[in-house]
Structure formats: structure tokens, C-alpha cells
Structure 1
Amino acid sequence: MRKTLATVLATTLIVMGILTGCSSSSSSNEATSSGKNGQEEKVEISVWAMGNQMKEFAQQFEKENPNIKVNVQTIPWGAAHDKLLTAVASKKGPDVVQMGTTWIPEFATAKALMDLTPYLDKYPEFGPDNFYPGSVETATFEGAYVGVPWYIDTRFLYYRTDLLKEVGYDHAPATWEELQDAALKLKQRGDNKYGILLDPKESSLGFMFARQNGSKLIDDTGKPLFNEPQFVETVDYLNSFFKNGSAPLDLGIDMIQTFKGEGVTPMFISGPWMVKMVQDQAPELEGKWATAVLPKKENNISTLGGSNLSVFQYTKQPEAAMKFVAWMSQPETQLKWMEVASEMPAAKKAWETEKLQSDPNYKVIGEQLKSARPLPLIKQWEEIAQNYMGSFEKVIRAGDDVKQEMDAFNQKADQILNK
């Protein structure tokens, strides 16, 4: 998303704080205070994270940095946003916080995050050149570097190679036209068969496809473009899958279940975590499925999400906090995180390892990341996305006119942007 100036500045504050404290090159006395007889006193930092795996990593960090105690609090994603708002209001919160990339604008606006820009020379782990451009974009605003990329995800195509071959495709659909054609042919296999699973509740799908059709979503002046031809054509294209029955509306069945077996839905669009889920839950499909970059219209832009690590502006232990973030930013650490959490490393250097270079699925993810971009970095984006889902539901379920509905959505988006 595009950030407002206030949001970006706040985010920048966070990132800079992280950079300063995270660098593995910082000396031990930077992260600890001196006690009696010149002995270093142990300091404690708190980390708020959305996954139990962080505790394991904190323990490893403590072994390498015995003068820093890391207290990890695991917070469910659903509760994290409100908890962070409370922390900002009270100016009492964690030293290090995991931030969803779309949250950065809001909390940066509130000046809750430390600016890491001044520390880039001191902590090279944070350097923008270390990460994919799209990931850096989530942490950059008007030249200010406001977040340290931790893990990233994007969307790409999963497909049953055996079933696609049966309908005349010995390759993944490479264009919008091929995707539409393949999905319809797969639907024609018989009753209760479909071509592709498109989740109407994932708003990013529409925006991603619209960018592939040349839409900027919001222009440089802040004007929404959701009723322009590029966006309207995209919604009409996505709606065509539901209208001709090649995409189901409500199956009520687990995605893996519909992918395996007879392949009720032999294609779907999802993120990296599904690779391991397919391997673990459908081992019988080995050799019968693959991944591919998204089909192309003008381009094949995908979304880019994930998490950044930030240092809370009100931390009393900025050096220790930044040292922890720097350690988490190292390619070696991020690769270990991938092994336990099935989340992709943000550090480009990590993608040069043999495992990520030799595995065909990871190679696809790496290729898709080259054309992945975050959604507009603005504070209002989440509200706009929620309104889009409501409009899209009216189109695919009630059959409302696409142009009229996008006119109404664009008007609402304009109101949101000008509050």
C-alpha cells in the first residue's frame, strides 16, 4: 500500500530503531549497561509475535547474546491489531514487534515505530539492497526506510499437471485467455467438477488481476481508478469464471480435498505455505501437480505481503532490540525460519542457496517475487479493500451490473480517501 506522509515517517522511525539495535556487528556493551566493577548487566526485551516459533529463535539468540533476555509474547493475528493500538495509546508496549506489511502506514502515522535510516551504515543487515524491491517498498516512503523485511509471501498458480494434460494443456496456463479456456475445459469434465478455485473473500485477487490489466488502482494524486476500463474489465473477467461455472461459489470443502483425488478444483491461486500442505496432506499427488507464475495479461504482477520487524518507538532498550532484529534479518536465520514456519525469506541472499535454487516450487516463488508488489501503502487501504469485497459479492452472487457496481465502489473509495 501507499503510505501517507505521517504513516511513513512513523514507520521509518521503527525501522531505523530496528536497524540500529539489530546489527550483529554491534558491540555487546551497546546492548547492555555496565554494572558494578564494569560487569555488564543483563537486559531484557519483549517481542510481540504472531507465531509460537519465535520462542525457539529467541532462545537461540540468547545463547549467542547471553547478556540479553528475550521475552516473547505470542499474539493471535486477530487480536494483534487492537493490542498494538492500546500499546500506542499508553506508550507502553514491546521493544520489538512483528508488523503485517499493511499495518505499517497506520502505526507509522501514530509515530509508534523507530526510524532506522540513520543506522544503515552501522547495520548492513538492514540495507535495502539485501531484499526484494517489492518488500523494500513496504518499508519505504518518500526515501525514508521505515521497516526491516522479515518474511514475504506472494501469490502464484497451483495446478494438477495430469488433469490439465487431459484437456490439452501440457503446460500451465500462461495468459488470461489460456486460464479461462483451461478452466472451462476442466469444468466440462462432468457434474460437480470445476476448473479453478477463486476465493471471493480474498480482496487482493481483484486488485492483483487489475494491475495485470494495466490498472494503477489509485493515481499519483490520490484519485481512485476503480471505475476505469482496466479495473471494470478485470472484474468482468473474474466474474466470467463464476458465470460459466468454471469456478465454484461455495463448496464448503477444504482446498486440499478439492485439489486431490478427482480434482474437483484442479487449479487455485495461493501462497508459499500451500506447497508443504499439498506435500503433507496429498502425498499421493507426487508427480501430478506443479506450481507456476501467474498467467499474464499486460504483465503478471502478483501481490506481495508478509511481515516486517519493527522497534517500538517507546522502547527503553533500543540497542538490544535492534540487535535482535539484525540477527533475525540474517539470511541464515531467515532460512531456518522457513524450515519451521514454511514462510519465505525476505533476504535475497537466502534465495541463492541450493535448496531454493534446486526445488522447482521454490524456483517458481522466487521468479514470481520478481514481479510482486505490495498493495497501495496508505492508511485507508484496509477499509477500501473491505468495500471492494462487498461490491464483488454483489456482482458474482446477485448479478449486479459490473460497471454500475464499480461506479458505486469508486465513489465510496473516494469518500474514504478524503475523510
Structure 2
Amino acid sequence: MLKLIAAVCLRFGVTSMTRSPQIQGMMLCIRGTTLVLAAALLQLSCGSSQNEPTVIRFWGLGNEGEMVRPLIPEFERANPGIRVIVQQLPWTAAHEKLLTAFAGESTPDVSQLGNTWLAEFSVLNALEPLDRFVRQSRIVQLDDYFDGVLKMNRIDSSLFGIPWYVDTRVIYYRRDLLQKAGYTEPPATWQEMLRLCEIMQRKAREEGRKQYPFFLPTNEWIPAIVLGAQSGGDFLRDDNTRGNFSGPKFRKAFSLLASFYEKEYSPSGQQLITNMYNSFSDGLITMYISGPWNIGEFGRRIAPKLQNEWMTAPVPSMDTAYPGASLPLGTSLVVFRQSRHKEAAWKLIEFLASREQSIALYRITGNLPPRKSAWEDSSLAHNPYVRAFYRQMQRLEPLPQVPEWEQIVIKLQLYVEYIATGTLTVEEALGRFDREVDQMLAKRRWLVERRKQP
């Protein structure tokens, strides 16, 4: 720098031998030249930073964290000023990793989030409300989403997530075994389902075979909550601060679940079914509630000779309306409040949530789109195995939006096992369970009661 200044001054005839007025001129020259050079360097620096792309981080969970990578180049081509860094997190570690990142102020800009986690992260004030972005968007049209799925993304009237894919549950069944019992598809009501199970079990015994017509694993909370969602009662009461599982409506649903174990229509212990796919192929089990990922698994793991003998159907109903309600599970795309690039983060969400990319994700992963318009695509419209899912998504019942929900349903599995094995009666199990839920919700109850104080 000094050499450059000296050269400039020499160019204008200023030397160290110059007398006082000339020295003053030299100093002015130096100052002026320094300002010119500083301005030039600043301009170069600004120009350099303006040319650098905005880098946003996206965390994908499980298989999607890997499968989303082929979609990103198209986004970057359409948005040359944005670069996306994708990090894959295993589902088993994702929840803890996200909480740790929030505590350490190192959250990503955009993340995939299980929609039952939204309440927890919104309470932490970790998520950016998306309403203002949606109002200006021509891509994310909320009326194009299945209603039950969208409701899972709203908390206290604010939208915190954009649905990415849906993991609702339907019935997988053996068509050939149902036909032997005189049915072409699973019944529309649970009472008729019990009659079908009785017929199938009687025929199996006459043939000297062991059969569990409807496999309801005791280490899964989904069947119990599906029945509870159909009962018309609320899982929680008093502003979601206390358990309501021992109330008459959920007790009726839980009693129905218990009857499948009492009559041995479903095994009461996990050790009896060591491999569900083999048991399904062997005819040991005939029906099973599961999600869309099992379409691919059944295609790979069910015996080849039976590939035309299995199908999917919506879940039965506890009333006359068919199908019965199922659950709007799945994942959503969120922007973390700590992001310094929220506008760029929203552009990525818009891209991934578009109709076209919803279809692309389905073709890559088998994950079902939450947008109604995506189901018009031939890859979905002509697939017989996903038709039941489309019909099921017309009737989804949102779950309570409380941070403790995951903890509650995991504990529920223990009480499902208690009633399946006869360790507790339905009334005993639900009474104890409600007391445990009340303990889980103690902090929430304190906060709600405090807000009500004048």
C-alpha cells in the first residue's frame, strides 16, 4: 500500500526533498490517494460479497435426508443466488439433535420435522410463523392440502409448518383369506370386523391351523389412538392439561381394542410374531394396520406367489360413516427463528412443497403427497395400493397439539400391553394411565392456570 502511495506521489512530482508547501501538497496527495484506494478496495470487497451465494442449511430426517439430494440441483439452478447444504439425521437421533441445536443457537435454516413435534418446538419459540410467507405465495395454496393434515401444522391460529408428506394408516390384508371367509374386502365397521375375525378363526381351527385374523401389536400406540379418534371424545381435557382417557368415549374404544386380545383375534405378546412379513405370507396373520412405506416393503418381502393376494383398505368405523377416522401423521417443513436467511429458506420450502416436487418425492421414496392436486398424477391415480390412502385422507382426526404428546403415547403402549395380557382391566389401566398423564402435564397445567389468574 505504501509503495503504491509513494508511486502515485512521485508521479505528481512530490519527493522528500520538497520544501514545506510542497510537503503539505504531498500530505494532501497521500490522504487523497489513500481515500481513493480505500474506496476502491471497499467496492471490490462489496462486489465480491454480492457475488457470493446465500448458503442455507437443510436437515432431512431418515431416508428423506438422503433422497431429497437429487431434488436440490433443480432448485439451485432456478435460484442461482442460493446454495443448499443438506445434512441427513437418523430418526433415532433427530429429536435430541434438534433440541441440542436450538440450545446451542445452531439450528438449520430449514428442517423436516415430524408433525407431532411442532407443538414442542413452537412452545420453545424455535420456529418462525409462516403465515406472512404463505399470504404472498403463488405456490403454497393452503386449500390444496388435506384438511386434517393442515390442522396439524397450526398452533394457536399460527401456521408453523408446511406439510411435506403424509403417513396416515390403513389396513393391509390378504384378499384370498378374506374371500375364503366370504368377504371381498375388510368390513366398514368394527363390529362387523369382529364377526369376520370370528369366522376366520373358526375356519382356521377346523383346518387345524393357528391364525390371528387381525394383528394389533402391543408395542404400537397407533391402533388405540385410531379407535380413540373415532370415539368422538377428547384425549385430553381442561385446556389439554389433564388426561381424559378414562372418560366414557375412550373407554368404549379401549374396550373394543381389548376384545381383539381377549378373543385371541390378535396375539397378546410380541414374541408370538417374530417376523410380520413371514407371518403375513404364511397366513398366521391376515390384517394389519400400517402406513404407506409398507407398500414397498410388502412388494419386496411378501412371498412372490402372494403378490396379487394382498391389498389395502381404509380403516373401519365405530359408527356408520365410512371410512373411520385415521391419523394425519407425517412430516412438515419448517423455518427456524434463528435463521439469518428466512427469505431464502422460504424459497426452498416453496420449491419442495410444490405439486411437482411432491410428485417427484413420491416417485423417489413412496411418501404420499399432502396436496390434493398431486393425486391427479398417473403415478398415484393408477396405483391400486395407494387408493385406500387417498380415500382415508378424506377423514383424518388431528391429534392434541401439546409438547408432551409423544411422551403420552409412548406410555400408552405399556397400558395396551397390560390389557392385552389381562394384567389390568380396561378401567384399571385407563385410570392409572390418566394419573400418569396428569403428572406429565403438570407444568402445562401450572402455566395455563397462571394465565387465567387476574
Do both share a fold (TM > 0.5)?
yes
**Which amino acid counterpart does residue 217 of structure 1 have in structure 2?**
F
Q: Which residue of 2 aligns with 1:384?
A: 408
Q: Which residue of 1 aligns with 2:435?
A: 411
Match of 1:264 in 2: 284
Hey, what does 1:57 align to over in structure 2? 71
Query: Across the two proteins, how many residue pairs are aligned to each other?
Result: 385
C-alpha distance in 2, partners of 1:201/1:58?
37
After TM superposition, give the deviation of residue 220 of structure 1 in Å: 6.1
Q: Is the 8 A contact 2:359 2:377 kept in 1?
A: no
Q: Residue 229 of structure 2 aligns with which residue?
A: 211
Is 2:226 the partner of 1:229? no
* Structure exhibiting the larger radius of gyration computed from Cα positions: 2
* Equivalent residues in 2 for 1:1-400, closer than 5 Å: 36=47, 40-50=51-61, 51=63, 52-188=66-202, 189-190=204-205, 191-219=209-237, 221-222=239-240, 223-248=242-267, 249-250=269-270, 251-260=272-281, 262-282=282-302, 283-298=304-319, 299=321, 300-400=324-424
1:35–1:41 Cα contact (<8 Å) kept: no
AA matched with 2:296? K
CA contact (8 A) 2:119 2:155 kept: no
> Structure 1 residues 319 and 40, CA, compared in 2 at 3 Å: closer, same or farther?
farther
Deviations 1:2-36 (A, max 9, x none): xxxxxxxxxxxxxxxxxxxxxxxxxxxxxxxx951
Secondary structure in 1 aligned to 2:76? helix
Query: What letter corresponds to residue 225 of structure 2 in structure 1?
Result: F
Q: Distance in 1 between matches of 2:435 and 2:318?
A: 27
The answer to which of 322-331 and 244-253 deviates more is 244-253
Counterpart residue number, 1:25:
none
TM-fit CA distance, 1:37: 8.3
- Which residue of 1 is the match for residue 448 of structure 2? none
* Equivalent residue number for residue 26 of structure 1: none
Mapped to 2, the partners of 1:138 and 1:146 lie a distance apart of 9
What is the deviation of 1:196? 1.2
Gaps of 5+ in 1: 1-33
In 1: Cα distance, 2:216 partner to 2:75 partner: 41
In structure 2, give the amino acid aligned to 1:354. Answer: S
Does the 8 A contact of 1:185 with 1:195 survive in 2? no
Give CA-to-partner distance per residue, 1:71-124, whole Å, 9 cap, x none.
111100111111111111111121111110011111111111111111223213
Question: Which amino acid in structure 2 is aligned with residue 204 of structure 1?
Answer: I
The structural deviation recorded for 1:401 is: 1.4
Q: After the TM superposition, which of the residue ranges 386-395 and 60-69 deviates more from structure 2?
A: 60-69
* Contact 2:219/2:414 (8 A) holds in 1: no
Cα root mean square deviation, aligned: 1.9
Contact 1:206 1:234 in 2 (8 A): yes
Give the gaps of 5 or more residues in structure 2. Answer: 1-44, 444-454
Bigger drift between 197-206 and 247-256 goes to 247-256
**Structure 1 position 127, deviation (Å):** 3.1
Hey, which bits of structure 1, 4+ residues long, moved more than 3 A?
A: 37-40
Helix, strand or coil for the counterpart of 1:266?
strand
Q: State the shift of 1:371 in Å.
A: 0.6
Larger CA deviation: 280-289 vs 312-321: 280-289
Matches of 1:41 and 1:216 in 2, distance apart? Answer: 52
